[in-house]
């Protein structure tokens, strides 16, 4: 029996390695749910106690801290109309205690929904409300000591199709997180991937990377069309990490042997990042701004932890200034329309074009990220 030449075996092994190295595209979701707790959708905070600033609950800024008092605190979120409320999530900055949720159609009679107990090590907190229906969502916290949360989101009736996003050449509008799904953005590649956490990654922009010997944790987003972008960041596991951001107008993809699109990560070796920064203290959040506006349809964020952690979680921010027009969405009685200014919504029906306060203003110290505030010029200040 003839033995295969050594160079043939080496070539075959090399080709197999290259094939394995390519990443397979994640499945698409034509009706992706998006955060309902946004002032751009007319959602308001009708009351609160011990929660500051209340505007952060509806700002859509995943990095902005929401401060909670020790002991009991609460907030009532009001949607523009009766809605299905299926899930509420937030990122904990090491607080410990319990959160209870209840829903109401009129803000007076409340139906308990679900409660969650969390410890300081629980970074992402998620509450499954099934298919609860109501116009109001009440959050009641009982904390051992005061602290903060970030990236508060509510999912249910609203989908990406309920929004139209425009960006003007004059840069008018407010900051939009395109990684959230608004404007058609979606996650298309994750590496390394924890397959059991794919649902959270695709639906809630909460990526849970598994333990791995790989140097980087990477997420690639398709924004649906070319967008003008100016800042990037993440809320992530509280450990030292570096972040590099890559932007592409077209993504180098090819069909694999199964006919599915695949991405070759070696492109990063010949591409310069458009922004980079470092969370040197392990604060768990990071924001970097570009020197100039970046135009791209595809954005890749690559996290490089200081050491190989048992796992690593991240919620991405891909920011660009624009105007989001909300077209109603969901089910309920009538078409609501909010004024986007934190007060009561108007129920006049029709489209809603809201330009909420720009919560990403780097001059506002309340928008600081971690202990050292907002970074600038493509380099983190952490």
pLDDT in tens, 251-280: 988 887 777 889 999 999 999 999 999 999
Residues 6+ apart with CB under 8 A from 18: none
Whether residue 194 has pLDDT greater than 60:
yes
85-113: b (≥16 Cβ within 10 Å) or e? bbbbbbbbbbbebebbbbbbeeeeebeeb
Name which of 31-35, 44-48, 88-92, 376-380 the model is least confident about. Answer: 376-380
| H or E segment and range at residue 201 | helix 198-204
Integer angstrom CA distances of residue 24 from 21, 96, 108, 110, 279: 10, 38, 49, 45, 29
Contact 40, 337 (CB under 8 A): no
Residue 323: its pLDDT value, please? 94
Tell me the whole-structure pTM to 2 decimals.
Answer: 0.80
How do the domains of the chain map onto residue ranges? 39-156, 160-326+341-372
Please check the confidence at residue 6 and state whether its pLDDT lies above 90. Answer: no
Contact 241, 314 (CB under 8 A): no
Strands 241-248 and 217-236: unpaired
Query: Is 39-156's fold the same as 160-326+341-372's?
Result: yes
Report d(CA 148, CA 235) in Å as an integer: 13
Residue with the larger pLDDT of the pair 193 and 340: 193
Q: How many residues does the chain have?
A: 382
The owner of tokens 């909420």 is: 356
Contact 324, 164 (CB under 8 A): yes
Among 10-19, 107-116, 226-235, 244-253, the minimum mean pLDDT is found in 10-19
> Residues 169-190: pLDDT tens digits?
888 899 999 999 999 999 999 9
8 A C-beta contact, residue 33 and residue 158: yes
Q: Is the dihedral of CA 121, 283, 198, 98 positive or negative?
A: positive
Q: What is the pLDDT of residue 21?
A: 63
Tens-digit pLDDT profile for residues 107-123: 999 999 999 999 999 99
User: Mean pLDDT over all residues of the chain?
Assistant: 83
Mean per-residue pLDDT for 350-362? Answer: 36
Are 160 and 113 spatial neighbours (Cβ–Cβ below 8 Å)? no
What is the rounded distance in angstroms from the CA atom of residue 306 to the CA atom of residue 315?
A: 18
Give the pLDDT of residue 334: 36
Nearest to 165 by CA among 226, 250, 245, 219: 226
Percent of the chain predicted with pLDDT > 70: 80
> Whose CA is closest to 186, among 126, 244, 260, 251?
251
Instruction: Write down the pLDDT at residue 329.
Output: 58
Structure confidence at residue 135 (pLDDT): 97
Range 160-326+341-372: architecture per CATH? Sandwich (2.60)
| Averaged pLDDT for residues 10-39 | 71
| Pick from 24, 1, 39, 7: nearest CA to 344 | 39
Averaged pLDDT, 140-154 = 97
Tell me the per-residue pLDDT of 300-343, one tens digit each, with 9 for 90 and over: 999 999 877 678 999 999 999 999 999 875 544 333 333 333 33
Residue 245: closest CA among 301, 188, 205: 301
Question: Could you tell me which CATH class the domain 39-156 is placed in?
Answer: mainly beta
| pLDDT (0 to 100) of residue 258 | 78
């Amino acid at each position: 029996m003839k033995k295969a030449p050594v160079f043939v075996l080496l070539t075959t092994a090399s080709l197999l390695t290259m094939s394995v190295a390519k990443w397979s595209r994640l499945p698409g979701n034509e009706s992706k749910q998006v955060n309902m707790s946004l002032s751009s959708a007319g959602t308001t905070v009708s009351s609160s106690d011990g929660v500051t600033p209340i505007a952060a609950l509806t700002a859509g800024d995943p990095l902005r801290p929401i401060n909670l008092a020790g002991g009991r605190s609460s907030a009532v979120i009001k949607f523009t109309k009766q809605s299905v409320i299926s899930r509420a999530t937030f990122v904990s900055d090491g607080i410990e205690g319990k959160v209870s949720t209840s829903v109401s159609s009129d803000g007076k009679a409340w139906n308990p929904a679900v409660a969650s107990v969390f410890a300081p090590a629980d970074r992402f907190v998620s509450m499954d409300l099934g298919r609860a229906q109501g116009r109001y969502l009440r959050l009641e916290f009982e904390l051992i000591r005061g602290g903060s949360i970030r990236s508060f989101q509510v999912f249910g009736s609203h989908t990406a199709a309920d929004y139209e996003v425009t960006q003007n050449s004059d840069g008018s509008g407010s900051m939009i997180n395109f990684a959230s799904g608004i404007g058609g953005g979606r996650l298309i590649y994750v590496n390394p991937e924890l397959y059991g956490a794919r649902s959270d990654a695709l639906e809630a922009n909460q990526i849970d990377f598994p333990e791995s010997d790989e140097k980087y944790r990477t997420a690639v987003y398709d924004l649906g069309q070319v967008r003008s972008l100016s800042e990037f960041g993440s809320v992530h596991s509280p450990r030292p990490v570096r972040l590099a951001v890559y932007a592409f107008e077209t993504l180098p993809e090819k069909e694999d042997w199964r006919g599915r699109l695949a991405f070759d990560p070696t492109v990063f070796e010949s591409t310069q990042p458009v922004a980079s920064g470092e969370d040197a203290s392990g604060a768990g959040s990071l924001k970097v701004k570009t020197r100039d506006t970046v135009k791209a349809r595809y954005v890749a964020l690559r996290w490089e932890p200081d050491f190989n952690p048992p796992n690593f979680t991240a919620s991405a921010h891909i920011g660009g200034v624009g105007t989001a027009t909300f077209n109603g969405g969901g089910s309920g009685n009538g078409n609501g329309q909010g004024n986007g200014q934190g007060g009561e919504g108007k129920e006049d029906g029709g489209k809603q074009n809201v330009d909420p306060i720009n919560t990403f203003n780097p001059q506002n110290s309340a928008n600081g990220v971690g202990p050292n505030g907002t970074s600038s010029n493509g380099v983190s200040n952490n």
